[in-house]
A and B are shown apart, each in its own frame.
Chain A
Amino acid sequence: MDLENRLGKKVMIFDGAMGTVLQQRGLKAGSVPEKLNIDKKEVIIDIHKSYLKAGSEILTTNTFGANKLKLSEIDYSVEEIISAAVENAKKAVDQSSSKALVALGIGPLGELLEPMGSLSFDEAYSLFQHQVLQGVKSGADIIHIETIADLYEAKAAVLAAKENSDLPVFCTLTFEEDGRTFTGANINSMISVLEGLGVDALGLNCSLGPEKLEALTEEVLRYSNTPVILQANAGLPVVEEGKTVFKLSPEQYFKPIARLYEQGLAVIGGCCGTNEDFIALMADSLKDKPVKETKSESRTIACTPSSWKDLERINVVGERINPTGKNEFKKALRNNDLDYIIRVAVEQVEAGADILDVNLGLPEINEKEMMVKLIKELQAILDIPLQIDSSNASVIAEGLRYYNGTAVVNSINGEAEVLEKILPLIKKYGAAVIALTMDENGIPETAEGRFKIAQRIVKKAEEYGIKREKIIIDCLTLTASAQQKGVKETLKALQMVKEKLNLKTTLGVSNVSFGLPARAVLNRNFLTLALYQGLNLAIMDPNDKEMMANIKAFKVLANIDKGAGEYIEFMADIDAEQEKAGSALESMDLAEVIVKGIKKEAAKLTKELLKEKDALEIVNKDLIPALDIVGERYEKGEIFLPQLVQSAETVKEAFAVLKTEMLKNGGKDISKGKIVLATVKGDVHDIGKNIVKTVLENYGYKIIDLGRNVAEEEVKKAVKANNIKLLGLSALMTTTVKNMEKTIQIVKEENPDCKIMVGGAVLTPDYAEMINADYYAKDAREAVEIAKKIFA
C-alpha cells in the first residue's frame, strides 16, 4: 500500500486491542504477552487475521513491551520476539491476501526517565533503538510509538526511530480527561514536539473511551498540521465477577468517531477493550473516505511538556544566565557550581520571565557538557521554556537533543557557514530560532540592509524545510551613545520585518543604554518604542520591576491585556512586596536572625555588618557563634530538625553575601576544605544529602555536590580530580545501599586516602562498617563533627 499517498488523504483503519483480547483468552495478569509471538503464534496470527477481516489496513505487532527492560525476565531476546511478531503479522496479511501494512508497536519502557525517574535519556534512546533496528530488519512498514505518557520518552523513541530507519513514524500519547498525561504533558506541547521532530502522524490512544477523548481530539485536530490518529479504549473497564470487562458497544464507540471524522480525523483504530467488531463497524462506514480538511489554527510555541508560550505574543526572555561581564557567574561556571546558576534562574522565573535564555559561553569551560547538564537541572525543577544561546553548533546540537520540549535557539545570522551548520539542527529538532540581521560584512547601517538579510535567511531556512513561523528576527539593538542614528534604524527594520515579512521579532533591549547615565530610563523608553513596532520577545532583565511594568502597561494600551487584569495583578503584587519590605524586623542582629531562622533578613544584615568589619570577622564573630547556639539547642532537644535546617539556610544567605564581597576584593575563599557529596546510583531522593550539604557549607566547607543517582565512576572521577579527603554518600533504600558499597570499593581502589562517610534512612553503624565506609553520620551535625576531625 502506498502510505504516502493515503495518509492524511483517505481515512486509514488501524486494528484494535491485542492485550485485552489475549486476557480474554486466558492470559494471566503480570505475564509477558510478547512471549506468545513464539509460544502461541497461531493465537496471535488468528487475532491479526480477525482484524484484517474486519477491514484493518494497518496491523500493530504484538510488541508493546518488547524492550530489553521488560523482556529481561523471559528467555527470549528482543530480536527473537520482534522478528517473530513481525513475521506473525506478515503471515496474517499473506494468508488473508490483504495489502495491509505492518506497524512495529513500541510502548513505554515501563520505567520513568530522569529527572522524574532514574532512567537516562540515552539509556531510553538505546532501548528504543534496539527495537527499531530489529523492526527494520524484520521488515516492518511503520514505526508506531504508542501509549506514551512522558513527552521526553516520546522524544527519545521518535529520535531512535528517525535516526535508525527511513520508515514512517506514528506517535500517540495517552491522556487523562483533564487534557494532561500522568506526567503532566499537555496537548499543545505534544503537537509542537512531535511535529517538530517530524512524525508522520500523531494523536491519542488508550486511557478513556472515544467520547471522553472527543474534546481532546478536537483540540489536537485544531492545532495539528499532521494527520491525527485516535485509538481509544472501549470506555472505562469495570470489574465483574473478578474479571475486567469493557462495556462500551461498537455502536456507542463509533458515534464520537463519526463526529471526529467530520473534523478531520485521519487514522482510526481501537485500544484496550476493542475487538474486530469495533473495527468492522468503523471500516464499513469510513474506509477510503476522504479525510476532511481541518481548520488548523497552528501556532508556534516554545514549550516544556507541561507549559508553553505562544511566540506570536509578547514574551519576556530572561537574559541573566550569561557570564558576560559577571565575575561571580564566571567563577560559578568554572567551579561547576550549578546551584548558583539555578538561583539566577529561579529569581528570573519568580520575577515573571516567560522564557529563559541560557548562555554559558566561557572559553575555559566545556560549554557543551555544561549546557546539557544545566538544561537537565533546570528542567528538573522549573517549568519554563528555555532559549539555548550559543555560537557553537555542537553546543546547540547537544542542547536541543536533551532539551525536553520545543526550545528557541539564539542564534543564527546571515553568514553562509552559520546557516549551513545550524539550520539542519533547527529542522531536525523542530526548534524556533532567532536570526540576527548581520552577516560576513557586519551589521548593515540601514534598516533596508538588515531587512534584506532577514529576507535571505528566511529563504534559506525554507530551503531546509523550516517553516517561517519558526523564525524570530533580531534587528540588533545598537548603543545610543556610540551609534545614535542607528537606534531609529533598528526600530524601522523591526517594523519592516513585522509588516512585510510577517515574522516574529526580538531585541536585546538593554544594549541601547551602554555608556550613558540612568540606563534604566533609556531601556524603558526603547522597550516601549520597540513594542509599538511589533516586538515579540523582549530579551531583558526581568528583575527590573520598572521594565516589567512597562511591558504590562503596553499590553493594556495595545488592547492585548483585555480588562487590564494582568496589569492590575502585577501592580498589586508590587504593592504587597513593598509593604512586606517595609515591615522588616528592626531590632534584631545577625546572630538572632540566624537562631530564629529568618532567611530573608540575613542578606540585608550581613551587608550592613560589612560596613563595619571584614568578611572573615563576620564569619568568626557572628556566624559561627550563632551556629553553635543552634547546634547546642538541637543536641539538647530544645529545637528540632526543621529549625536547625532553617537556621542553616539563613547562614547560607549570609555566606552568599560574604562570598560576593570577598570575590569583589580579590580575596581568597574561606574554604576549610573540599568535600564531595553524592546520592548513590538508583536513588533519586536526596533531601537528606542536601541538608548535610547546607550545614557543612555553614561551617565553611566547600561542597562539590554531584547530585542524585550518581554513577560510581563519576564519584571516583570527582574524588580524584579534586584530590578529595572526605566523601559523603547517601542512600535511601536497601536496594541502593548495594550501589553505595560498590561506590566505596571503586573510590578506595584509586584513592585509598579519601575517607568516606555514609548516611541515609536504611543505614546503621554496623552496616556502614560492613560496606567499608570509614564513618557513619546519623545526621548533619555528626557530618560536621566528622569533617572537623578530617580537616583538623
Chain B
Amino acid sequence: MEFEFKIDKSEVLRYLNTAEDFAEQSIHNLIDEAIVELKEIINFRYIYKKFPIEVRESGVDIKNTTLYLKGDSIVKHLKNSPEVFLMAATLGNQVDKRISYYEKTSITKSMILDACAATAIEEACDYLEEKIKKQVLAEGKKGITFRYSPGYGDLELEIQKEFLNVLNAPKKIGLTASKYNLLMPAKSVTAIIGVLEKNESQAIEEKNKGINDSFEEKNCKYCRLYKECELRKEGVYCGFRK
C-alpha cells in the first residue's frame, strides 16, 4: 500500500473521550489489538481531482461540473482560491462489518475499533492533504486551505451525493451516500481543499494565522451543537484539529 497507517493511540484515546494520561492496561491492550486488526482489514481507496471555481456571493460554482456549493462559510473558505481539489476517501466496507460484529459480541471492542477507524480515516486524509499540497507547491503556487467537508458550517450535507458523482466515486472507490446523505462505507470522508495563489500569499497567510479564532466564530455558530460542543469549549474545532 502506498500509505502506511500509523493509527496514533493518543488520537484514539481522544475519540474515546478519556483523559490524556489514561492508563487502564486492559483498555490499552484492547486498543493495541484493535490497531493490528484494523490495519489488516482496511481497504483504503481515494480519489481527488482539481477544478477551477468561481466564487460568487451566494456560493461557489465548481466549473465543468454540476456542483454548486451554497453558503457563507464555503464562500469565505474559498474566497482566495481560483481552484479547488475535491477529494473522497474511504476505509472500505470490511471495517464497518467488523465494527458491527463487535457490537454483537463485545461493545467495548466495537467502541475501540470505531475510534481506531476514525483515527485512521483522519490520518488518511492528512496524507492526501499533504500529497495535494506537494502537488500545488510543485506547480509554484502558495499552498492550500484546510479541508472543508459537506456539513461544516452552513454547507449543506445534501450535496454529498452530487459531490460523489462528480468524482465518480461510487464506481471508482465504491463510496456512496445513502438517501439521508450518510456516507457508506461509514469510515469515509469527502472534503474540499482550496488552492492558494502566490500573489495572495501575504494576505492569506495573515488570514491563516488567526483562522482558529475567526473560523470558530464564523462557522461554529451555524452548528447545531454550538452550545453543547465539548470540543469547542476546549477551543478545538472538529474539522480543524491540527
Contacts and interface: CB of A to CB of B under 8 A. Distances in A.
B27 A642 contact: yes
A642 B45 contact: no
A532 interface: no
25 contacts: A28-B65, A29-B65, A29-B66, A30-B162, A31-B66, A110-B165, A112-B184, A112-B185, A115-B100, A116-B184, A116-B185, A117-B184, A118-B182, A174-B171, A183-B93, A343-B105, A346-B104, A383-B97, A643-B24, A682-B178, A683-B182, A684-B184, A687-B99, A690-B103, A762-B225
Given A29-B165, A381-B104, A642-B24, 5 more contacts: A29-B166, A640-B18, A646-B27, A691-B107, A767-B224
Contact of A242 (B50, B99, B105, B151): B50
Contact of A342 (B92, B104, B162): B104
Nearest to A761: B225
Given A182-B93, A640-B19, A764-B228, A30 B181 contact: no
Contacts of A343: 104-105
A640 B100 contact: no
Nearest to A736: B180
Nearest to B103: A690
Contact of B110 (A29, A119, A383, A687): A687
Contact of B227 (A119, A640, A732, A764): A764
B215 to A, nearest CB: 20
A140 interface: no
Interface of A: 28-31, 69, 108, 110-112, 115-119, 147, 149, 174, 181-184, 206, 239, 242, 339, 342-343, 346, 380-383, 596-599, 637, 639-643, 645-646, 648-649, 682-687, 690-691, 694, 732-736, 739, 762, 764, 766-767
A762 B224 contact: yes
Interface-centre pick from A30, A381, A684, A686 (highest chain B CB count, 10 A): A30
B106 interface: yes
Contacts of A119: 178-179
Nearest to A339: B104
A733 B180 contact: yes
A31 B105 CA distance: 44
Interface string B11-34: 000001111001010110010000
A739 B181 CA distance: 13
Interface in B87-115: 92-94, 96-97, 99-101, 103-108, 110-112, 114
A353 to B, nearest CB: 16
A239 to B, nearest CB: 7
Interface string B141-176: 000000000010000011001100111101101101
B186 interface: yes
Given A28-B66, A182-B45, A645-B108, A111 B178 contact: yes
Interface in B30-54: 30, 43, 45, 49-52
A354 to B, nearest CB: 18
A375 B166 CA distance: 36
B67 interface: yes
Contact of A599 (B106, B180, B186, B224): B106
A642 B179 contact: no
Given A30-B65, A116-B97, A149 B174 contact: yes
A181 B174 CA distance: 9
A687 B103 contact: yes
Nearest to A206: B171
B199 interface: no
B202 interface: no
Contacts of A31: 66
Contacts of A694: 107
Interface string B56-75: 00000000111100000000
A684 to B, nearest CB: 7
Contact of B97 (A118, A239, A381): A381
Given A30-B66, A733-B180, A642 B111 contact: yes
Contacts of B18: 640-642
A735 B181 contact: yes
Contacts of B49: 239
A109 B225 CA distance: 34
A381 B108 contact: no
A181 B94 CA distance: 12
A118 B178 contact: yes
Interface-centre pick from B18, B30, B65, B184 (highest chain A CB count, 10 A): B184
Contact of B170 (A29, A110, A642, A767): A110
Contacts of A147: 171
Contacts of B66: 28-31
Interface in B193-242: 224-225, 227-228
A115 B19 CA distance: 34
B101 A382 contact: yes
B104 to A, nearest CB: 5
B170 A764 contact: no
Contacts of A641: 16-18, 111
A596 to B, nearest CB: 7
A364 B64 CA distance: 62
A112 B97 contact: no
B47 to A, nearest CB: 11
B97 A640 contact: no
Contacts of A108: 170-171
A469 B30 CA distance: 45
Contact of A734 (B24, B43, B157): B157
A690 B110 contact: yes
Contacts of B52: 242
Given A30-B166, A641-B18, A764-B224, A684 B103 contact: no
B176 A110 contact: yes
A182 B108 contact: no
Contacts of B171: 108, 147, 174, 206
Given A111-B176, A116-B97, A599-B106, A640 B182 contact: no
Nearest to B173: A182
Nearest to A239: B49
A646 B157 contact: no
A735 B108 contact: no
A637 B21 CA distance: 13
